[in-house]
Amino acid sequence: MDEEVLAEIQDPAQREMVDTVILNGFLALTRIETTSELAFYAEFTRTLGAGESACLAVASNRGWLIACDERRVFLREALARIGKDRLINTPGLYLLWIRCGLLTVAEADAAKLTLKGRRFKIVFSSYGNLFLIQLARKKQDFQLPETKGAPRQPSRRRLVPVQWCCPRQIKPLLALKTT
């Protein structure tokens, strides 16, 4: 998490939770460190806030993922700069944590109810169902092509990066954006 993003957290309860997560080593603070990140930051602040700009500058320069539920300007800019493969939303984070063994489906579903109670729109009934759908899609992605004479190899179009599956590497991969 970039220091600019952290500075934008106004709710004391949310700030306390984020501080606890940082203190326990589950999330690392970072800052703009290179001239190219600073140049990106200056460019992005023309249309985005300080935290959004810092997040996008760092993620685009370092090849990191961005966790984002935005649907407007930030999302359009992030898609243009880093592409959809490096964006993850809240349900995607919970699926990641389930795959990594950091959460159970029941824990993710309990968190989903909490989010829903805070007016976070979630359209699926359970992370278990979403997880099964994702597994079915992965199975399809690995079906062998039906072409004559060509060597049969699995498709790698939709492979989840290896780093996503290792809990120790989640921390440096995510550049979080708060709203």
pLDDT digits (tens, 9 = 90+) for 83-100: 988 998 888 888 888 888
Q: What is the mean pLDDT of the chain?
A: 76
Domain containing 161 equals 3-141+155-176
pLDDT of 160 = 33
Q: What is the full DSSP assignment across 26-79?
A: SS--B---SHHHHHHHHHHTTTS-HHHHHHHHHHHHHT-EEE----SHHHHHHH
Give how many domains the chain has, as a whole number.
Answer: 1
Tell me, yes or no, whether 149 lies in a domain: no
- What pLDDT is recorded for position 79? 92
Give a yes or no: residue 146 inside a domain: no
Radius of gyration of the chain (CA): 18
pLDDT (0 to 100) of residue 135: 65
Q: What is the 3-state secondary structure (H, E, C) of 92-129?
A: HHHHHHHHCCCCCHHHHHHHHHHHHHCCCCCCCCCHHH
CA–chain centroid gap for 110, Å, is 20
Round to whole Å and give the CA distance between 50 and 107.
33
Q: What is the pTM of this model?
A: 0.66
Examine residue 148 and state whether it is found in any structural domain, yes or no. no
**Cα–Cα distance for residue pair 3/33, rounded to 1 Å:** 12
- Of all helices (H) and strands (E), which one includes residue 2? none
Q: What is the pLDDT of residue 92?
A: 87
11 assigned to some structural domain: yes
Which residues of the chain fall short of a pLDDT of 50? 140-179
